[in-house]
Amino acid sequence: MDDDDRELTVEEFRKAIHAILVRMDRIRSSDFYKRFLAQVGGSVGESLAAMGVENLVVYGLGRISRSESSRLQLALVLLLRQDRVLPEDCLIWVFDPVLTACEWRILRQLNCRAIDSNELGLRKVEEPTLFFMPHCESHLYDNVVKANWGSLGKIAILGNSFASYMERWTIYPNQKGSRPDHLLAIQPRAVELRVDDVDFMYAFNDMSWHFFPDE
């Protein structure tokens, strides 16, 4: 894919879609995905089913035309719905300010919907929602938790390990950047299940499922 916003030719568009489908097949045949599905077949799947997830919100996907990690992350998102980890009618919503018009055309062809404005992670959900946030900054996770503080049972997060954030802030309390107070406050009560990143460490390293059961 080209880096500018010119219209893709039919052949370029076909190749761009094919590139994502190839990565879906690559993930599906990997040891990573076998372990991932085994996890989903246990407590992760039970938690998702109990929630009744209706929406999947993707933040921080990055440039799918430039980044192999971004293409693999999108492939995993599509597999979540295609392989019935999430309901077949689950809506996939995407936002990243770096995405180009050409990339949005590809995403729409793959049945992803655009979030129209930069929510800064402050999306308060009405329906049960899974947030997929690979490699996002801690303040975005903090904003998701903050926005849904009174209804955390309606959200789950697949993204950077909250336990890792807690460890870093405990060891280095004076590090640069805003302290993610809501993330750190909820971390001890969250149910976190680490994802084995074998095969695709650069795309899925330090990733965990996070659930927030009602007390």
pLDDT in tens, 169-207: 888 887 777 899 999 999 999 999 999 987 888 899 999
Question: Does residue 74 register a pLDDT over 80?
Answer: yes
Between CA 67 and CA 65 the distance in angstroms is: 6
Residue in the block written with tokens 């690979």: 134
Q: What is the pLDDT of residue 17?
A: 96
Give per-residue pLDDT as tens, 58-67: 999 999 999 9
Neighbouring residues of 50: CB distance < 8 A, sequence distance ≥ 6: none
Q: What is the pLDDT of residue 174?
A: 78
Which tokens is 5 given?
Answer: 């916003």
Mean pLDDT score, 146-169: 96
Is pTM beyond 0.75? Reply is yes
The residue ranking higher by pLDDT, 7 or 134, is 134
Give per-residue pLDDT as tens, 107-139: 999 999 999 999 999 999 999 999 999 999 999
- Phi and psi at residue 210, to the nearest 5°: -130, 125
Element (H, E) at 93: strand 91-95
Which tokens is 95 given?
Answer: 């936002």
- Phi and psi at residue 206, to the nearest 5°: 55, 35
Residue in the block written with tokens 């998701």: 144
Kindly give the residue spans of alpha helices, DSSP state H, lying in the chain: 10-28, 31-39, 45-51, 68-82, 101-109, 138-147, 162-171, 181-186, 201-204
Which tokens is 196 given?
Answer: 């084995």
C-alpha to C-alpha distances, 94 to 33, 113, 176, nearest whole angstrom: 22, 6, 29
Domain definitions of the chain by residue range: 10-211
Which tokens is 140 given?
Answer: 């975005």
Ramachandran sector of residue 121 (left: φ over 0; alpha: ψ -120 to 50; beta: rest): left
Judge contact between 211 and 156, C-beta under 8 A. yes
End-to-end CA distance of the chain: 48
Between CA 170 and CA 154 the distance in angstroms is: 28
Tell me the pLDDT band of 9, cut-offs 50, 70 and 90: confident
Between CA 139 and CA 134 the distance in angstroms is: 13
CATH number of 10-211: 3.40.50
Question: Does residue 3 register a pLDDT over 60?
Answer: no
Judge contact between 102 and 1, C-beta under 8 A. yes
Which tokens is 35 given?
Answer: 């372990």
